[in-house]
Amino acid sequence: MLSDAKKGDSGQISKFQPQSPEEVRLVELGFKVGAHYEIVEEAPFSKDPLVVEINGVRIAVRRFLLNHIEVI
Amino acid sequence: MAESLVALVGNPNCGKTALFNTLTGLRNKVANYPGVTVEVVKSELSKTYGGNCVLIDLPGTYSLSPVSDDEAITSDLLSGASGQLKPQLIINVLDATQLELGLGLTLDLLRLGSPVVVVLNMMDLAESSGAVINVDTLARELGVPVVAISATKKWGLDKLSNAIKSSISTPQTSKELDWNDLNSKGELVHKIVLSCTETKGRHSELTARVDKYVLHPVYGPLILLAALALIFQAVFAWAAFPMDLIEGFVSKISELISTLMPEGLLRDLLVDGIIGGVGSVIVFLPQIVILFSFILFLEDFGYMARASYLMDRIMGTVGLSGKAVIPLVSGLACAVPSILATRSIPSKRDRLLTMMLALNDMFGATSCLCAFNCSFYSREAVPWNESARCSDATALRGRSFGSAGGRICSKGNRIARRGATFIDRTSSL
């Protein structure tokens, strides 16, 4: 799951079935199957939210929104 | 008379309003932050671009499956769901520097079946960042006319006017594009982007280097703190000088009129009502201008997004997003610009909550009234919080009285310092 990723992790999104309007928005912002991701930064202390770089775009997102994104 | 409806649709912050102004010859304000257009703006298309139809500027959206209120407006209007006229032509504005983000919406629009003209805005920026977009290939892939322009530098507009004219006279709908669910839509977008861009624009080295510091777990919050302190200092202290000037100017005028006019109802109306009333509003102008300059400046450099990221956890504990931090901090100086600044918060719920919280900030005028109240209640030794709360209510009431309340408000900043020491004294009794 992408929600378990740590700073510096990278890989590819393997499965994502959006289940809420917010998750649909994530797909529109680039969180698509096959997209390459890299965790650029995590917020201090709580590690939440985190900055994900996807398709060359940096997106800050709260961790719980990434719960349904499977990665390899 | 205008006959047909042409809609401008695009992602937030892709230059729709700039293009709208060019096409209609109007001068609506354009600002570089999301949510500038929160209402639908209509105007007649100017003659140079075909004329004879009404152009509507719609709030930005990423798709036709709406998440926020603004997006619902756009999606309702385009599908004709709100009982309004369905637009005859859709002008889809894309930010050429973020092609992949915008094309998802384009595919949604093509599916509606209305004729679409795709406009690649900010083409100059895309080219300078090294991304070469082949306009003809994109047009072939989408099956609709594609025009590359720069709305601010005003090039490519003649081609756009031709495209609009020919699309209105001979409507052109797109070929069937093959996608069913969100994932296949994403793949299709990716395929189209790959086929029409030659060098894929990566974000610049500079961004990565700056992010190393502004997103850093230690330096990041420190930089944010410095930025907020600077904004606070500017709104609280630097604005005091122009505010005093305006206040002095207003009181000069009312003095002048007082001496020129005979005593009576008309003089009171002019001096206390009109001049006093307007004066107490425009006295906030310096604070508003300074705060909004900062917000626009930070938004322009992309720092607002980073500030939201840094503050998200703390703001999350009260159910807000990180974007609320700027309105709340500036609310310490004055609630008026602070409430105006909540515009930049996308969700309606967060916006209202931030406004409510900003009203409870101890801003200058409030602390003045607080001190005033303390002097009333200090004999019975009312706890500090209690008197702060009731002075909040007094401040609100005072403001609704217009000129009188306004004048107290405007003097608040100056009295605040005296008030603050006063509170310390009375509350320690």
Residue B403 has what pLDDT?
A: 33
Which residue segments constitute the domains of chain A, with CATH numbers given?
Answer: 2-71 (2.30.30.90)
Confidence check: pLDDT of B353 > 80: yes
CB-based contact A28 B63, cutoff 8 Å: yes
Confidence check: pLDDT of B126 > 60: yes
Token output for B346: 């996308």
The mean pLDDT of B6-20, rounded to a whole number, is 80
d(CA B421, CA B411): 16
pLDDT, chain B, mean: 73
Contacts of A49 in chain B (CB under 8 A): 309, 312-313
d(CA B101, CA B65): 15
In tens, the pLDDT along B282-339 reads 888 888 888 888 888 887 777 888 888 888 888 888 888 787 887 887 777 677 778 8
Token output for B359: 């009203």
Residue closest to B369 by CA, chosen among B427, B422, B331, B327: B422
In tens, the pLDDT along A46-56 reads 788 888 988 77
The alpha carbon of residue B397 is apart from the nearest alpha carbon of chain A, in Å, by 40
d(CA B152, CA B64): 27
In tens, the pLDDT along B49-103 reads 666 777 888 777 777 776 666 667 777 777 777 666 778 888 888 888 778 778 8
ipTM: 0.86
Report the SS3 class of residue B58.
Answer: coil
pTM, full prediction: 0.56
Of residues A45, A49, A56, nearest to B203 (C-beta): A56
d(CA A18, CA A66): 10
Residue B295 has what pLDDT?
A: 81
- B85 vs B10, B40, B142, B187, CA distance in Å? 19, 14, 25, 33
Interface membership of A39 toward B (CB under 8 Å) = no
Q: Are strands A36-42 and B146-148 parallel, antiparallel or unpaired?
A: unpaired
CA B29, B34, B40, B43 dihedral sign is positive
